């Protein structure tokens, strides 16, 4: 069974631009996203980073599904340029590379998520819809690399109770485990909209703009493992 937009309240049709230099990969992605039943529309395809940048400006998709290794303009530079000119467009990286240097550079450039091409089609569709909800989506292997990166050079411990409520701390702890808003809602027996509200409060209190930043801050401060 595919993933329907009804599982993601507040999301209409997610308009996606696919950017990959391999035609068969683009065709495969289009097919896999189509099998998500509803809620995702592929509005264009780009064969290199420069074309991805130009089409992003022309089509204004919600999400650019972007590879790293592409001619003319690589995925890192394309991400920087797109986010600089159209910050409302989310960048979801889909690549075969899990090198730490790429992960760090793309997160710093403003990518909203980082998935490996080994992900199943349903996982990619799920990531697209979650990204439209404002979530940061990372594969488990990528999450481990980020946590490892910041765990060694942290600041002194500081408990989140200084700024976050107990429930907000629970939400952030589940987010650090990679749980989606839907799964967090199920675990805490609340609505998805309530989880969204907690996330907004967490971002405001911690002065961050994404789940990744919130989790990285929690690990750095010593109150998330």
Range of weakest confidence among 26-35, 86-95, 143-152, 163-172: 143-152
The total domain count for the chain is 2
Q: Does the pTM exceed 0.95?
A: no
| Same-domain pairing of 167 and 98 | no
| Same-domain pairing of 116 and 167 | no
Confidence of residue 3 (pLDDT cuts 50, 70, 90): very low
Among 113, 146, 179, give the residue marking a domain's end. Answer: 146
User: Mean pLDDT: which of 10-24, 51-65, 134-148, 192-206 is highest?
Assistant: 51-65
Judge whether residue 157 has pLDDT over 50.
no
pLDDT of 57-103, one tens digit each?
999 999 999 999 898 999 999 999 998 899 889 999 988 887 777 77
Task: Copy the structure tokens of residue 137.
Answer: 């989506």
| Same-domain pairing of 212 and 125 | no
- What is the rounded average pLDDT of the residues 38-54? 92
Among 91, 115, 146, give the residue marking a domain's end. Answer: 146
| Same-domain pairing of 41 and 112 | yes
Task: Copy the structure tokens of residue 176.
Answer: 């650090």
- What is the rounded average pLDDT of the residues 159-180? 77
Domain limits for position 91: 5-146
Cα(24)–Cα(26) distance, integer angstroms: 5
| Same-domain pairing of 165 and 101 | no
Judge whether residue 163 has pLDDT over 60.
yes
| Same-domain pairing of 101 and 181 | no
Report helix, strand or coil for 218.
helix
Judge whether residue 155 has pLDDT over 60.
no
Buried b (16+ CB within 10 A) or exposed e, 193-215: ebbbebbebbbeebebebbbebb
| Same-domain pairing of 192 and 113 | no
| Same-domain pairing of 20 and 108 | yes
Indicate which CATH number applies to the domain containing 209: 1.10.10.10
Sole residue written with tokens 């989506």 = 137
Q: Which has more pLDDT, 2 or 72?
A: 72
- What is the rounded average pLDDT of the residues 169-198? 86
Cα(186)–Cα(180) distance, integer angstroms: 10
Cα(87)–Cα(195) distance, integer angstroms: 24
Among 119, 146, 173, give the residue marking a domain's end. Answer: 146
| Same-domain pairing of 179 and 197 | yes
| Same-domain pairing of 78 and 180 | no
| Same-domain pairing of 112 and 25 | yes
Alpha carbon 12 to chain centroid distance? 18
| Same-domain pairing of 135 and 209 | no
Confidence of residue 192 (pLDDT cuts 50, 70, 90): confident
Indicate which CATH number applies to the domain containing 93: 3.40.50.2300
Cα(144)–Cα(138) distance, integer angstroms: 10
- What is the rounded average pLDDT of the residues 203-212? 76
pLDDT of res. 147: 58
């Amino acid at each position: 069974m595919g993933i329907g937009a009804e599982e993601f309240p507040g999301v209409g049709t997610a308009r996606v631009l696919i950017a990959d230099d391999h035609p068969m990969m683009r065709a495969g992605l289009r097919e896999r996203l189509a099998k998500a039943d509803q809620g995702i529309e592929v509005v264009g395809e780009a064969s290199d980073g420069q074309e991805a940048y130009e089409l992003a400006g022309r089509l204004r998709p919600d999400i650019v599904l972007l590879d790293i290794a592409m001619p003319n303009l690589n995925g890192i530079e394309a991400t920087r340029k797109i986010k600089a000119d159209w910050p409302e467009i989310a960048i979801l990286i889909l690549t075969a590379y899990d090198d730490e240097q790429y992960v760090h550079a793309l997160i710093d450039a403003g990518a909203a998520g980082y998935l490996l091409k080994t992900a199943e089609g349903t996982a990619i569709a799920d990531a697209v819809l979650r990204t439209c909800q404002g979530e940061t989506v990372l594969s488990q292997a990528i999450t481990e690399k980020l946590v490892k990166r910041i765990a060694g050079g942290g600041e002194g411990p500081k408990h989140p109770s200084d700024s976050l409520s107990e429930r907000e701390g629970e939400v952030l702890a589940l987010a650090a485990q990679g749980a989606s808003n839907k799964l967090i809602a199920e675990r805490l027996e609340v609505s998805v909209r309530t989880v969204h509200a907690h996330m907004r409060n967490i971002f405001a209190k911690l002065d961050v703009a994404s789940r990744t930043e919130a989790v990285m801050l929690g690990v750095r401060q010593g109150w998330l493992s």
